[in-house]
Amino acid sequence: MQKSHVVQSNRAGFRIGEFVRACGFSRSTFYNLSKDQQPRSVKIGRARVIIETPAEYLRRLAHVQA
């Protein structure tokens, strides 16, 4: 049985893999984003934690591109 990945929109932070699955693009696309297209994130130890929800990020990205 395959495990379903559901992203909760009320979460405070996302790891990169969770975030790209929720947004619908690949890790390689994520790493190739320009500086103004990158989601807001913080570094905690060796981990990068994205601090905006996928919905917030996609809205901001649409506004930047408009």
State residue 64's pLDDT score: 81
Q: What is the mean pLDDT of the chain?
A: 87
Model confidence pLDDT, tens digit, residues 17-38? 999 999 999 999 999 999 989 9
State residue 12's pLDDT score: 83
Model confidence pLDDT, tens digit, residues 33-63? 999 899 999 999 999 999 999 999 999 999 8
Cβ atoms of 58 and 23 within 8 Å: the answer is yes
Domain boundaries in the chain?
16-65
Cβ atoms of 19 and 11 within 8 Å: the answer is no
